[in-house]
Structure 1
């Protein structure tokens, strides 16, 4: 729990920072669409824009981009650090139980193994049983 408070504070701070970056990007996009190009003289007709048209396609300033990247990075660090402890994975608990029908899950032994549900389905075709019956039948037939 002691490590939970700093991560929650980091998440809160980075969320506010990200919200500010989003607000700044929105304001910048509003300002860039309402800005007009300066009037052009008749001699400079090579410019594709006409006088008084709004400019589009301006990129975000570097400070807004950096603020966004830093806030997302801090948010990810806060989320990852607030997570629960990871448990070690030991394959030997599962591998031995697949064939024997016993698997250790969270300290409890589950009967039926990993494929126990398949064996207990009603109407499940048991090929091994049918093969054994067929072999016995062939022995009786000669």
Structure 2
């Protein structure tokens, strides 16, 4: 469907540009013509311009969605399994083992520091020295 996405997007952009130009022309013409300021035709755009811009926006969105690639997995375990099987090519010169395990950063980090335990160990150390 990639062959269909670009023409749809281009056609949508052309229609959107025409809708914008039509809205601009309507605004310019309505501001220069002599009309009663409270008439609704002096302040609002015609319905066909609204329909044209909405249809163009939908065509552009459809063309962009059809032209997008396959989505990447959003579940962590699916992504991690893919990285472990294929390896991550974004890390450059890193070792294959370091690249292939996405959990290495979590496994290699140090745990929380227990200040109370460190303080009691230090007190015991000081008492042994005396």
Q: Which has the higher helix share?
A: 2
The alpha carbon displacement at 1:18 in A equals 0.2
**Residues 15, 106 of structure 1: CA spacing in aligned structure 2 closer, same or farther, 3 A cutoff?**
farther
User: Cα deviation per residue 1:65-101 (whole Å; 9 max; x = unaligned)?
Assistant: 1001110111111112211211223333689xxxxxx
With a CA cutoff of 8 Å and minimum separation of 6, indicate the structure with the bigger relative contact order.
Answer: 2
The list of structure 1 runs, each at least 4 consecutive aligned residues, that deviate by more than 6 angstroms after superposition, is none
Partner of 2:27: 29
Task: State the 1:138 CA deviation.
Answer: 3.6
In the alignment, structure 2 segments of 5+ residues that lack a partner are: 88-99
Q: Which has the larger radius of gyration?
A: 1
What is the TM-score when the length of structure 1 is the normalising length? 0.60
1:58-97 residue pairs with structure 2 within 5 A? 58-92=43-77
Contact 2:2–2:67 (CA under 8 A) maintained in structure 1: yes
Q: Gaps (5+ residues) in structure 1?
A: 39-47, 50-54, 96-102, 120-125
Alignment partners' CA distance in 1, 2:118 and 2:3:
66
Structure 2 vs 1, CA of residues 58 and 104 (structure 1 numbering), >3 Å: closer, same or farther? same
Supply the distance in 1 between the matched residues of 2:123 and 2:10 (Cα, whole angstroms): 75
* Structure (1 or 2) with the greater strand fraction: 1
C-alpha separation in 2, matches of 1:32 and 1:105 = 65
Corresponding residue number in structure 1 for 2:13: 15
- Offset of 1:14 from its aligned partner? 0.3
